[in-house]
Amino acid sequence: GNVEARLLLPKAIEAEKEALAIFESACDELSQARARIASRLSETVSQRMPSLAMEGSTFEVVVDTKARKCTDFAAYGATTTTLGTDSVDFFLNHGSSNNNNNRGGGKLEAVASSGEKARLLLAVECELPGSVGAACCRPRSESPRSESEAVSGLLEAVSLLPPVAVVYDEIDSHVGGRAAVAMAEMLADQAMNTRHSDNSNSNDDHATGNTGGGGGGGGHQVIA
């Protein structure tokens, strides 16, 4: 009755506080992991950019770990389409990071061309294989995993994702020579690309056994 409920209420409140503390700790741990991956990805993708005809530019992933609290309704799409406690932005920067006065660029979606976006997507997928598929689909895993199993089984989870076709539109537009060859080599493990460069066509055809390659047309090819 009411007496029993009053006795149980303090325990329920304390249990709720403990559960919230555990949840907040897990959210913070995930945010810090995202920040570490963002830093690593910024560095490794930037190292690939000179070979992709993007000399003098850098790629930067910025994670705002204070964008939302885990207790905010907005973090769960209640009032917006935004999900999660963190906010992530991708930047394409031009010029030296040592001289901000001569540095240009901005958010990737605002300043990058279609070709630049495609080349950066390719570089990201090469550094984090399966990242595009992971962003599009959920792993085919029905049974829940503990935290340790989730960490150790990350690659296995990615391998369980359904196939995803990635279209690298205009990826080698206005690119030739060594950069086109480098892109063709990187594309060997990717899903689909729209081609324009003779160099990229030639290398791609060799890598995939395609005999129907051609000049600078915009044909599509599925890469196994």
* Closest C-alpha to 190, from 172, 215, 177, 214: 172
| Least trusted range by pLDDT, from 41-55, 164-178, 201-215 | 201-215
Average pLDDT over residues 29-47: 92
* Closest C-alpha to 69, from 8, 20, 18: 20
Q: Which residues contact 89 (CB under 8 A, 6 or more apart)?
A: 61, 62, 64, 107, 108
Average pLDDT over residues 157-163: 64
CA–CA gap between residue 197 and residue 224 (Å, rounded):
20
Task: Report yes or no: 68 and 85 within 8 Å, Cβ to Cβ.
Answer: yes
> Residue 106 — very low, low, confident or very high, per pLDDT cuts 50/70/90?
very high
> Residue 103 — very low, low, confident or very high, per pLDDT cuts 50/70/90?
low
Average pLDDT over residues 80-104: 76
* Closest C-alpha to 210, from 220, 118, 172, 218: 220
Helix (H) or strand (E) holding 133: helix 131-136
Q: What is the pTM of this model?
A: 0.67
CA–CA gap between residue 211 and residue 205 (Å, rounded):
6
| Least trusted range by pLDDT, from 17-31, 75-89, 104-118 | 75-89
Cα–Cα separations (whole angstroms), residue 6 to 1, 10, 11, 13, 22: 9, 8, 10, 11, 25
